[in-house]
Structure 1
Amino acid sequence: MKAKIVLTHRVFPETVELLEPHCELILNETSHTLPQGELLSRCVDADAMMAFMPDHVDEDFLRHCPKLKVIGAALKGYDNFDAEACTRHDVWLSIVPDFLTAPTADLTMAMLLSISRHVLAADQYVREGNFQGWRPVFYGTGLSGETVGLIGMGKVGQAIARRLQGFDAEVIYYDCKRLDLDEEKRLGVEYAQLSHVVKHSTYLVPMLPYTEETRHLIDAQMIAAMPQHAYLINVCRGSVVDEDAVVSALTDGHLAGYAADVFEFEEWARADRPLGIHPELLAMQEKTLFTPHLGSAVIESRKNIELTAARNIIEALSGNKPTHAVNDIRMGVLK
């Protein structure tokens, strides 16, 4: 009998074509996330699962899926998946470490420009029939001559820095692991302590994974240390930013704008996560710009992510360690 694989979200035809010769596929043909109960019922006798960002796997889930051998996660950050529990249940957990860098950096640039130049509000102004010719309205802030602060200089941070070179902006950064001087020169960035980056950046861009250490790193105290009328852009993880603190800073005028592609409610592993986007954030249309987690939503990138996740699954079902496994069930330890 072929192994049974549950694909939790709709995938590209190429992904189906790669997996179909090896497995019986249980597809989600909709654009919606399956309720946890329905997902469990599909996975109870499954050998593998291809999972996506909205999915959540913990000890209880694994206990109800005794045949599961591998979870091929089509994502990079896997904090919604209990890797230690996977190891205890002899389940491989694999991720896709690449293919997200360029599209996420591109989206960051779009957000930097759109929030500071009032693109969304101006578009609405035109569509509502208000444009009758040039008027002195929607004055914003450009990138040329301004300071962009990056917190985190991993692959995505470096890709953003490369893109900023064409905008004549000063780029400063903080990372717990500093780049070498040649790399800083090549990227056109200057290292500084975190407090300096926060204090001197017109645009502050955290580019960090979500951990207990980074949870609410951008809090009320840090936002208060930012320059008056600065912009905050979040395309990494929702809970890196304290959304309540952002609401307060936008309300009192300290922050000029907040752009986000990620939100606190998406952190399934957080027991106290909010149930949705802060309603006051949604109401501040002139000061905010939001997208629905589009970081890697480029067709070729998403195809490659899915195909890599599928190959990880095939490797595990063939008795091999997946190329991008984050745990090692043979050793009983995390990678």
Structure 2
Amino acid sequence: MTKKIVVTQPIHAEVLHMLQSVGNVVMNPGPAPWSQAELYQHLSDAEALMAFMPDRVDAGLLRNAPHLKTIACALKGYDNFDLQACDEADVIVSFVPDLLTEPTAELAIGLAIAAARNVRLGDNLVRTGQYEGWRPVLYGTGLHQSVVAVVGLGAVGRAIVERLSGFGCARILGVDPVNHNTRVVLTDLLTAISQADYLFMAVPLTESSRYLIDDDMLAHAKPGQILVNIGRGSVVSEAAVARALQRGQLGAYAADVYEMEDWLLTDRPHNINPALLAAENTVLTPHIGSAVARVRLAIERRAANNLIQVLSGKMPTDVVSLDNAR
């Protein structure tokens, strides 16, 4: 009997051919996700699922996928996937652990520079015909000789630190109770937010990290601070950030991730905070941290290999268990 593989986003022809060599592939033409009803219908007789960032896997989905053996995730973070429910349903889950690191760190630096140097406002000035040559306007700040803090020293955080080391920062602070890095001065979050000119958020979303940056924490932020979030949307309170921007506590906010994307949270907002969208001193990108063409292809290949290994009776290279996900 031919194995059925469900793919929730369009993939490269090369990767599609890989999957078709082991089963019958049903692929979403995208880019909009299937409705829940459509997805459940496709999964009703599927043995494998290739999942992407917009997907949420919980007990309800698994009940509607009784033949599912594996979920191969073409992404890095676990937070939209209920690994306990997958374990109880005997579904093997794999993620791509490292290919997203470098492009995400590159974007973090780009966002910081764009926010600090008023790139968005400057672009608008030129495009609207207001630019008539150099004028003493749009002065910002730079990484050189600034105090920079990175919250979360996992793979992405370390990659950000590595890139920062070439900018001549006055100091690089690191906040992480577990991971360490020789290039940073380890400290606590309160100290970091009160001293840093730039604060990079590179932490995963957990129960303890949700709204790590809230009104109370932002009250201690160094005035004019540039806050950059490339971790997960809900590690900051977007409403609190908007208020801090409005009162001038924060100099700018740059983000590639948003609270509305944290699908497993039942009380997540369904839109980006309107006050945040209205703020001029923001740079907001549509979750393009890994959107480098050759990187996305490599991620799809890796996820496909993990899926094929399970359908071939093997354990996938990038298997994730409850123990190593904690």
How does the TM-score come out when normalised to structure 1? 0.94
Does the alignment pair 1:251 with 2:252?
Answer: no
Whether 1:122 aligns to 2:122 is yes
Residue 319 (structure 1) aligned with residue 313 (structure 2): yes
**Aligned residue for 1:310?**
304
**Structure 1: runs of 5+ lacking an equivalent:** none
* CA separation of 1:147 and 1:14: change in aligned 2, threshold 3 A: same
Q: Tell me whether 1:265 sits opposite 2:266 in the alignment.
A: no
CA contact (8 A) 1:87 1:334 kept: no
| SS state at 1:303 partner | helix
Provide the C-alpha distance between the structure 1 equivalents of 2:252 and 2:324, rounded to a whole number of angstroms. 40
C-alpha deviation, 1:178, in angstroms: 4.7
- The residue number in structure 2 matching 1:217 is 212
Query: Secondary structure of 1:222's partner?
Result: helix
Equivalent residue for 2:22? 22
Give the residue type in structure 1 aligned to 2:277: L
Equivalent pairs, count = 324
1:9/1:178 CA distance change after superposition, 3 Å: closer
Question: Does the Cα contact within 8 Å between 2:195 and 2:222 map onto a contact in 1?
Answer: yes
Deviation of 1:165 after TM superposition, in Å, equals: 1.6
Report the AA paired with residue 172 of structure 1: L
Q: Distance between the aligned counterparts of 1:79 and 1:306, measured in 2?
A: 19
Q: 1:235 aligns with which of 226, 230, 237?
A: 230
Aligned-residue offset at 1:158: 1.2
Partner of 2:10: 10
1:221 is displaced (CA, Å) by: 1.2
Who is 2:287 aligned against? Answer: 293
Match of 1:204, SS state, is strand
Question: After superposition, what is the alpha-carbon deviation per residue over 1:176-196, rounded to whole angstroms, capped at 9, x for unaligned?
Answer: 0252xxx51xxx322223222
Tell me the secondary structure at the aligned position of residue 167 of structure 1. Answer: coil
Distance 1:191 1:292 in 2: 31
The letter of the residue matching 1:289 is: V
1:165 partnered with 2:159: no
- Counterpart-to-counterpart distance in 1, 2:55 and 2:297: 19
| 1:30 CA drift (Å) | 2.3
Q: Is the 8 A contact 1:178 1:191 kept in 2?
A: no
Deviations 1:112-167 (Å, cap 9, x if unpaired)?
Answer: 10000010110111011111011111111111111110111111111111111221
Looking at structure 2, the residues matched to 152 and 236 of structure 1 have their Cα atoms a distance apart, in angstroms, of 9
Please list the CA deviations of residues 281-314 of structure 1 after superposition, one character each: whole Å capped at 9, or x if unmatched.
Answer: 1111x21110010111111111111111111111
Name the counterpart of 1:150: 150
After TM superposition, list the pairs within 5 Å mapping 1:56-67 onto structure 2: 56-67=56-67
State whether structure 2 residue 81 is matched by structure 1 residue 87.
Answer: no
Letter paired with 1:319: G
- Contact kept, 8 Å, 1:174 with 1:193, in 2: the verdict is yes
| Separation (CA, whole Å) in 1 of partners of 2:91 and 2:85 | 8
Aligned to 1:200: 195
Q: Percent identity?
A: 44
Deviation sequence 1:7-45 (CA, Å, 0-9, x none): 000111121121111111101122111111111111111
2:270 maps to which of 264, 271, 275? 275
Indicate the SS of the match to 2:213: coil
Alignment of 1:45-84 (within 5 A): 45-84=45-84
Q: TM-score, normalised by structure 2?
A: 0.96
The 8 Å contact of residues 44 and 65 in structure 2, kept in 1 or not, is answered as yes
Matched to 1:11, the amino acid is I
CA contact under 8 A between 2:98 and 2:155: conserved in structure 1?
Answer: no
Please give the alpha-carbon distance, in whole angstroms, between the structure 1 residues aligned to 2:188 and 2:248: 26
Confirm or deny: 8 A CA contact 2:6 2:25 kept in the other structure: yes
The Cα RMSD (Å) is: 1.3
Contact map agreement 1:4 1:46 (CA 8 A) in 2: yes
CA distance in structure 2 between the partners assigned to 1:226 and 1:55 by the alignment: 34
Aligned equivalents of 1:317, 1:193: Cα separation in 2: 45
Which whole-Å deviations, capped at 9, do the CAs of 1:84-128 have from their partners, x for residues lacking one? Answer: 111111111111111011000000010010000010110111011
CA distance in 2, matches of 1:300, 1:255: 35
Q: In the TM superposition, what are the counterparts of 1:129-140 in structure 2 within 5 Å? A: 129-140=129-140
